[in-house]
Amino acid sequence: MRRTVLSATALACAAVLAGTVPAFADGASPVPSPRESVTASPAPAESTAPSAEPTRAPAEGQVSVVPREAPDTGVAPAQDGSGAQTGLIGGAAAAVFAAGGAVFLVRRRRATGA
Amino acid sequence: MNPPSRRAFVTAATASLLVSCAGHRADPETGSGPRSTPTRSRTPVNAARAVGRSVPVGLRIPVLGVDTPVIRLGLAPDGSMEVPPVTAHDRAGWYRHSPTPGQVGPSVIVGHVTVGAYGDGVFRHLARLRRGERIVARLAEGAAPEFAVTAVRTVPKADFPADEVYGDVDRPELRLITCGGPRTGDGYPDNVIVFAALSSAGP
């Protein structure tokens, strides 16, 4: 009888020892299990109007090089045609002046010759 | 306690120990334990998933009638962002140091508001966009992720919000940038920035 009790006790102890495993945080494997990414899921789902402001993530470097200044994406257009108009007016004035000078020279030459 | 009952007690105790040990080992191996259920439920059912890296080759903004090729841009020698060339057929440009559209992070695309003597630039009316309106990128590998506008901001160039534009985010987002504000002799004093988030990974 005593042998039976001792055998049973020894068996129970063996079972407890066999069941003792290292206390890993996730599962029985000592290799770290891949971390579930809670942040990788885009939030807006099917909505066409997601939240107004972007949310920050703890990771860094999605934009690997941040430019120095604001992009210069506006080359001002020509002054709405006013530049061309100015050129036209200047040219006309020069032509009138030249014509006047020519008339003056012709008259003066005729006057001298007469 | 007589011998038979004592024997029965010892046997029962041993059996219960063995059963409890076996039960703890089963959970991690099969993955059917109570821990795996909340893990699966973390994934939103209808969330638009990020797409793989693929360079953008086109951009559509249906409400503005914009449908433009997209070129690649880098950094100018002074450290500022390159901009598309000033030509008659103005195009948008993707900043190649940012994620491609549909990847997690802020993908940056810039375009001119005006191109000098050539008139309007490809992003001439960007400031007219409103929250919820659609932007579609065309990627080199065929995907066409869709974005929904979340905010449109006009900010002085001197106070350009670099952190908000280039800072990390936890989902695929898009930034469209051009110039804006009242035109002066030198150009434009402000930047128009459109913030958008992925709404559909597209076909």
Angle at A57 between CA B56 and CA A32, to 5 degrees: 105
Q: Do A11 and B131 touch (CB under 8 A)?
A: no
Express each pLDDT in A74-114 by its tens digit: 777 765 444 444 444 444 555 655 666 666 677 777 776 64
> Is A19's pLDDT higher than 80?
no
Residues of chain A with C-beta less than 8 angstroms from the C-beta of B102: none
Beta bridge partners of B146: B136, B200
pLDDT tens digits along B26-58: 333 333 333 333 333 333 334 578 888 999 999
CA A73 to chain centre: 15
What count of other Cβ atoms lies within 10 Å of the Cβ of residue B168? 19
Comparing B44 with B95, the larger pLDDT belongs to B95
pLDDT on residue A57 = 45
CA distance A32 to A24: 9
Residues in chain A: 114
What is the percent of chain A with per-residue pLDDT over 90, rounded to a whole number? Answer: 4
For chain B, what are the domain ranges? 3-40, 56-200
Q: Residue B168 and residue A62: Cβ atoms within 8 Å?
A: yes
Q: Does the beta-carbon distance from B148 to A16 stay under 8 Å?
A: no
Q: What is the pLDDT of residues B143-188, one digit of tens each?
A: 999 999 999 999 999 999 999 999 999 999 999 999 999 988 778 9
Nearest-CB residue to A74 (from B166, B170, B187)? B187
Give the residue among B172, B169, B163, B165 at the shortest CA–CA distance from B192: B165
Strand residues in B51-189 grouped as ranges (E):
56-61, 66-73, 92-95, 105-110, 114-115, 134-139, 146-156, 172-180
Domain residue ranges of chain A, discontinuous segments joined by +: 86-114
Q: What is the number of other CB atoms lying within 10 angstroms of the CB of residue B66? A: 19
Give the B window 100-129 contacts with A, CB below 8 Å: 104-106, 108, 110-119, 121, 123
Sign of the dihedral defined by the CA atoms of residues B10, B14, B20, B24, in that order: positive
pLDDT at position B84 is 94
Distances (CA, A) of A37 to A33, A40, A41, A88, B32: 12, 6, 8, 68, 20
Share of chain A above pLDDT 70, in %: 19
Residue B62 CB neighbours (<10 A): 11
Element (H, E) at A75: strand A74-75
Tell whether B29 is within 8 A of chain A (Cβ): yes
ipTM exceeding cut-off 0.85 for this assembly: no
Please provide the CATH number assigned to the domain covering B56-200.
Answer: 2.40.260.10
